């Protein structure tokens, strides 16, 4: 009987282990590169280059370290990951290849106290026009019994009624997207965020990459999605995914945007330089 009892206890323990949820966090390694050339005719002695980097402290991510192959320093803010690179004196026509590596801890559940609510995420902005009459009207028709149900209704409506197109149309916002019923990931995200705000739910657009595992980041894969606040925490919604419930730990955040065109001096898209004779691009390794 004792042996049988021990066997039963062992079986129960194994069953409990198998039934336990998967690990709530995982490590992520990423690498990406840029090419920067002095296309002018003068030696550049004080050049500074700034590149996007993983957000140091996101709702679902924690940056462990960043390495760059040139002298650099961290210029990150709560809303944007930034690495500033300081090349040596730079002769004309010379190209620098900048390689960035980073390791992060990605979380499947929101991290408490990382990103407090900001009034900006409820207000209309030039690209997230939540005070537009048509957006307000549509949002009112999509409100559900809970914030999650409302967000699900909005996700379903945008996916069914707006056609995805990668064609560049300039900096268009939520109003344009609703009127023309077409947009890329950025425009779909802005429309969803505007609908959320019109319904009284804080929302913001994020920029970064989808990473289901360690990988090299490529320029064509830069992506935009949304976080909305359901009253207890920030939740991830991707308008290019048919499933409303995505894996938040797979979304590597570089920048968090409120949507305003008035942004701090440090803010930029992918990269920035302090000299007009510097040509820059993100490259695929």
| pLDDT, tens digit, 9 for 90 and up, residues 75-99 | 998 889 999 999 999 999 999 999 9
Q: How many CA atoms lie within 13 A of 174 on its CB side?
A: 32
| pLDDT, tens digit, 9 for 90 and up, residues 174-183 | 999 999 999 9
Task: Say if residues 97 and 35 touch (Cβ distance below 8 Å).
Answer: yes
- What's the CA dihedral at 172, 173, 176, 180 to 10 degrees? 80
Task: Say if residues 25 and 108 touch (Cβ distance below 8 Å).
Answer: yes
The runs of H, that is alpha helices, within the chain are 2-19, 133-142, 147-161, 174-180, 185-198
259 falls in which pLDDT band (50, 70, 90)?
low
Write out the residue limits of the CATH 3.10.620.30 domain(s) in the chain.
119-257
Write out the residue limits of the CATH 2.60.40 domain(s) in the chain.
25-108+266-283
pTM of the complete model: 0.88
| SS3 (DSSP) at 156 | helix
Strand partners, 84: 50, 73
119-257: CATH class: alpha beta
262, pLDDT greater than 60: no
| pLDDT, tens digit, 9 for 90 and up, residues 34-79 | 999 999 999 999 999 999 999 999 999 999 999 999 999 999 988 8
Query: What number is the average pLDDT over the span 4-32?
Result: 60
The rounded distance, in Å, linking the Cα atoms of 266 and 188 is 25
End-to-end alpha carbon distance in the chain: 64
Question: In the numeric block, which tokens belong to residue 274?
Answer: 């302090």
Question: In the numeric block, which tokens belong to residue 276?
Answer: 């007009």
25-108+266-283: CATH class: mainly beta
21, pLDDT greater than 50: no
């Amino acid at each position: 009987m004792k042996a049988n009892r021990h066997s039963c206890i062992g079986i129960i323990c194994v069953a409990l282990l198998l039934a336990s949820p998967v690990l709530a966090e995982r490590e992520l390694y990423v690498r990406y590169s840029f090419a920067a050339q002095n296309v002018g005719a003068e030696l550049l002695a004080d050049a500074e280059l700034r590149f996007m980097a993983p957000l140091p402290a996101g709702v679902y991510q924690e940056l462990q370290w960043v390495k760059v192959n040139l002298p650099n320093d961290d210029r990150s803010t709560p809303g944007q990951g930034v690495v500033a690179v300081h090349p040596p004196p730079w002769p004309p026509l010379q190209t620098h290849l900048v390689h960035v590596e980073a390791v992060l801890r990605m979380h499947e559940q929101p991290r408490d106290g990382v990103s407090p609510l900001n009034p900006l995420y409820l207000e209309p902005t030039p690209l997230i026009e939540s005070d537009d009459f048509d957006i307000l009207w549509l949002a009112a028709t999509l409100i559900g019994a809970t914030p999650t149900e409302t967000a699900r209704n909005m996700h379903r409506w945008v996916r069914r009624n707006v056609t995805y197109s990668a064609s560049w149309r300039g900096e268009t916002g939520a109003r344009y997207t609703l009127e023309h019923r077409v947009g890329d990931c950025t425009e779909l995200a802005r429309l969803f965020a505007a609908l959320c705000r019109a319904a009284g739910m804080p929302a913001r657009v994020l920029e970064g990459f989808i990473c289901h595992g360690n990988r090299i980041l490529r320029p064509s894969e830069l992506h935009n999605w949304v976080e909305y606040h359901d009253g207890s925490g920030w939740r991830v919604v991707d308008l290019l995914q048919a499933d409303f419930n995505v894996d938040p730990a797979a979304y590597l955040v570089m920048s968090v945007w409120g949507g305003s065109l008035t942004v701090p001096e440090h803010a930029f898209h992918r990269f920035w330089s302090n000299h007009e004779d510097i040509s820059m691009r993100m490259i695929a390794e």
